Structure 1
C-alpha cells in the first residue's frame, strides 16, 4: 500500500523492481475510537448488568467474536451450566467462547498455527515461499523469531505513525491485552516467508464466520514489486474460504481504493454501510481511512 512521489501505485503484481520509481512515501495509521461504547447482550438484547458483581447477570465478551452476553443467556445453550466465576476465569485465560461456531472457528485457526504451508501453485517449481499463520499468544514455539521482523516491516511501512500508535501496532502483532483498555488478543499474523525471512505480512482478525478483518498489510521494502503482496492477499482469502468465513474487510487509504477494487476485487462501503458494520462488529479502524470489503459467499 504505497505510492511513488508521482502518485503512481507501487504494489507487487509480479513486476521486477524499477530504479526509475520515485521515493516511497510512508503512510500513517492512527487508531480510531470504537463506534459503540455501550453493549447489549447478543442473545437477549438487554444491556442491563450488575456492576461489580460476579453473578448470572454479568456480561462477558466472547474471546472469539467479541460479542457480549449475559452469563445466564450463555448458560441457556449449555446442558451443563457454568457458574459466573468459571466463565470469568475462562475469559481471563482467553478461552471463553460463546457458541459452537466460535469454538469451531478457534479450533480451525489454532490448527494452522506455526505450520509452514507451501503455496500450492508454486510446488512445481519447488519454491521456498511458505505461508504461515502466527499468534503472539503462542509462547511455546519459535513464533518470536518472526514477530520482530513483522513489526519492523510495519514500522517501515507506516513510518509516519506516531510513537504512541507505533506501539499499538507492536501490541497488535504480539496479540497483547494492554491494561484492559486495548485488547488485541485473538489477532493473528499471516505471513509469507522465504527461508527464515518474512517478506510480506498482515494482521488478521477472524471474528466470526460472518466477517474477518485485514487490519494491516505490508511488504518488506526490498521485496516490493515482486508479487508477494498479492500472493499474501490471495493466500489469506483461500484460507478464509476454507474456514467458511463469508466476508473480509480492510481499512484502506482513500487514494488506494481504486487499486483494491480493480486488482483485488474489493468494494468500498458507503458512510452508512460503514457505520452499520462498525456497530455490528467491533472492527479495528483507523482515522481518515475508508472501509472496503470482499464477499466470499
Structure 2
C-alpha cells in the first residue's frame, strides 16, 4: 500500500474526538493543543476537544493523571479504591485486585503498608504465572512480556507499553491459587491475556471462581465486555463452558484502534458483562476449567517452539 503524500497520523497519534494530531481551533496554548494520553483508557486527546474540559481541568492536574472524560476519571478512581480490597466469593475464597506501585507513579489511595503488601503479592503472582506459562521474550528487546504485564511496565513502544494492567487474584485463606492480568480500556471493554492456576489446584474449579470474581467486579464498574485471546483448540471450551463468543466484525474494527496484547495463532473472544449478576455462583471443578487452565502452555508452545515443557501448564 502507498503512504499518503500529505501530513498524516495513525489513530494512535490522533485525538479521539477530532481525529487530528493538532487542534487547529484551540487557542494559542501548548497545553490545550498538545495530545494527552488518558490515564484510564490510554486514548489520545486534546484537552480543548473534550466535551467536559472545564470539569476535568482541575482533576487532571492532580497526582499527574489525565482523563479524557468524566467516565474515565470515575472508573480510575473506583479502581484505585478497590486496590487490595478483599471481595469474598464463597466460603474460603476471595478475589482481590492488586497493582505494582512504581516509585515514579502518581499517588494512589494506598498508604505505604498497602503498597508494600500489593507489591509482595505481585511477586507471588509473577511466580504463579511463571509456573503456568512458558516465557514470552520480545525478539527485538529481550523483554520478558509476562513479567512486564504483571508489573504494568510502561514503554515508548506501543506494543510493549503495558501500563494500566491490574492483577486479579483468587485467594484461599492467605494463599494465592489463581491469577489473571486485566487491562480496562474505559467502559467499552477489558482485556485478559493471561489467567493461570497453580498445578496443585487444577481441576477444582479455580479458574471459574476467579473468572466469576473478575466479571462481578468489571460489571460493577460498568465495563461492557471482556475480551480474551484463545487458540483454536480452546475456542470450544471458552464458548461452551464460560459463555464467550467470537468477536464480531464491527467489534474487530474497534479493537484495532486499541492497544491490546495479542499473540500469533490466537483469535479474540468476547463476553458481555453488564447483564452479569451481582454475586458469583458456586461452581464445582470441571473438565472445562482444567482445559482453560492449560491454555497458556498451548499458546506459549507456538511462540516458543524450541522451548521444552519447562514452565508449561499441562496437567
Q: TM-score range by the shorter chain?
A: 0.7 to 0.9
CA contact 1:192–1:200 (8 Å) conserved in 2: yes
Q: Which consecutive residues of structure 1, in runs of 5 or more, have no partner in the other structure?
A: 1-35
CA contact 1:61–1:67 (8 Å) conserved in 2: yes
Deviates more, 1:235-244 or 1:259-268: 235-244
Q: Which residue, out of 27, 30, 33, partners 1:57?
A: 33
Q: Where does 1:54-93 land on structure 2 (aligned, <5 Å)? A: 54-74=30-50, 77-79=52-54, 82=57
Equivalent in the alignment of 2:222: 244
Note closer, same or farther for the CA distance 1:163–1:209 as it changes in structure 2 (3 Å cut). Answer: closer
Q: Which residue, out of 239, 256, 273, partners 1:279?
A: 256
Equivalent in the alignment of 1:178: 155
Post-superposition shift, 1:162? Answer: 3.7
- 2:12 aligned with 1:48: no
CA distance in 2, matches of 1:200, 1:227: 10
CA contact 1:153–1:221 (8 Å) conserved in 2: no
CA distance in 2, matches of 1:144, 1:38: 31
Post-superposition shift, 1:45? Answer: 1.9
- Matched residue of 2:16: which SS? coil
Note closer, same or farther for the CA distance 1:81–1:208 as it changes in structure 2 (3 Å cut). Answer: closer
- 2:111 aligned with 1:133: no
Q: Which consecutive residues of structure 2, in runs of 5 or more, have no partner in the other structure?
A: 1-9, 102-107, 275-315
Using the size of structure 1 for normalisation, the TM-score is 0.74
CA distance in 2, matches of 1:233, 1:159: 22
CA distance in 2, matches of 1:157, 1:273: 33
CA distance in 1, matches of 2:19, 2:251: 22
CA contact 2:224–2:273 (8 Å) conserved in 1: yes
CA contact 1:65–1:102 (8 Å) conserved in 2: yes
Post-superposition shift, 1:257? Answer: 0.5
Post-superposition shift, 1:280? Answer: 3.7
Post-superposition shift, 1:70? Answer: 1.4
Note closer, same or farther for the CA distance 1:56–1:163 as it changes in structure 2 (3 Å cut). Answer: closer
Q: Which residue, out of 171, 174, 178, partners 1:193?
A: 171
Q: Where does 1:94-173 land on structure 2 (aligned, <5 Å)? A: 95-119=65-89, 122=90, 127-137=91-101, 140=112, 141=114, 142-159=117-134, 161-162=136-137, 167-173=144-150
Which has the higher relative contact order, 1 or 2, with Cα contacts under 8 A spaced 6 or more apart? 1
CA contact 1:63–1:94 (8 Å) conserved in 2: no
CA distance in 1, matches of 2:228, 2:239: 12
Q: What root-mean-square deviation, in Å, do the aligned CA atoms of Structure 1 and Structure 2 show?
A: 2.7
CA distance in 1, matches of 2:138, 2:173: 31
Note closer, same or farther for the CA distance 1:55–1:242 as it changes in structure 2 (3 Å cut). Answer: closer
CA contact 1:146–1:197 (8 Å) conserved in 2: no
Using the size of structure 2 for normalisation, the TM-score is 0.70
- Matched residue of 1:64: which SS? coil
CA distance in 2, matches of 1:244, 1:67: 18
CA contact 1:248–1:295 (8 Å) conserved in 2: yes
